[in-house]
């Protein structure tokens, strides 16, 4: 996905801001555009945006890559779960857009917490091969992006979890602003 040249998403007006006082969580595999679309969606709606991975890094004082390298995935998942619980407590049902890391919604405990919070969950989708390519081009380095074969297998194992989201949006061949506008429109927020 690319950013439309010169695109400046228009901010939502007051009516829009009060339209749906519940958080929107963007889920999907690595490279799906959860952070970039989330930022654009936040701008479009005039809602705050947060990336859960950034909260994990701030709480732990280490980059995700380092948490994986020094402490392993189980420790990352613990940190992720705690960061999510903290975020949900702070959000307390208020309007905001949250991008989750690719593995967060796959953890049953996290999915249950999100569902109990009443948040809207949106699955940003794409083919495994396209997502692999997007990750190759962009930042950050992803500890779980190994071979294409492994990437495809992990994607296939996780996809049924993402499909539990209330809304499913295809991202292939679309720019970031188009996907953000599609999410807002399908949620009746625009």
Residues that bind ligand S3P (CB under 6 A): 30, 34-35, 53, 64, 101-103, 142-144
How near is the Cβ of 117 to ligand S3P at its closest, in Å? 19
How near is the Cβ of 164 to ligand S3P at its closest, in Å? 16
The DSSP output letter for 12 is P
Nearer to ligand S3P, 35 or 43 (CB): 35
Measured distance CA(115)–CA(85) in Å, rounded: 12
DSSP notation for 38-90: HHHHHHHHT--EEEHHHHHHHHHTS-HHHHHHHH-HHHHHHHHHHHHHHHHHH
Q: How are strands ordered across the β-sheet holding 167-170?
A: 49-51, 97-99, 24-27, 120-125, 167-170
How near is the Cβ of 30 to ligand S3P at its closest, in Å? 4
Measured distance CA(167)–CA(162) in Å, rounded: 10
Nearer to ligand S3P, 10 or 141 (CB): 141
Nearer to ligand S3P, 19 or 127 (CB): 127
How near is the Cβ of 9 to ligand S3P at its closest, in Å? 20
**Close Cβ partners of 110 (under 8 Å, ≥ 6 residues apart):** 80, 81, 84, 100, 104
Nearer to ligand S3P, 106 or 184 (CB): 106
Question: Shortest Cβ contact with ligand S3P: which residue?
Answer: 101
Nearer to ligand S3P, 152 or 190 (CB): 152
How near is the Cβ of 14 to ligand S3P at its closest, in Å? 32
């Amino acid at each position: 996905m690319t950013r439309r040249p010169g695109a400046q998403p228009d901010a939502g007006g007051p009516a829009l801001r009060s339209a749906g006082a519940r958080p929107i969580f963007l889920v999907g595999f690595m490279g799906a555009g959860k952070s970039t679309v989330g930022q654009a969606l936040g701008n479009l709606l005039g809602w705050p945006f947060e990336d859960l991975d950034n909260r994990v890094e701030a709480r732990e004082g280490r980059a995700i890559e380092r948490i994986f390298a020094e402490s392993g995935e189980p420790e990352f998942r613990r940190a992720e779960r705690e960061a999510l619980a903290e975020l949900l407590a702070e959000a307390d049902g208020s309007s905001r857009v949250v991008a989750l890391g690719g593995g967060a919604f796959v953890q049953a405990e996290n999915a249950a917490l999100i569902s109990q919070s009443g948040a809207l969950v949106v699955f940003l989708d794409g083919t495994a091969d396209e997502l692999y390519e997007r990750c190759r081009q962009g930042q950050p380095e992803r500890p779980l992006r190994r071979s294409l074969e492994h990437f495809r297998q992990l994607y296939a194992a996780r996809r049924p979890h993402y499909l539990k989201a209330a809304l499913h949006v295809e991202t292939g061949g679309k720019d970031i602003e188009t996907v953000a506008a599609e999410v807002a429109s399908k949620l009746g927020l625009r």
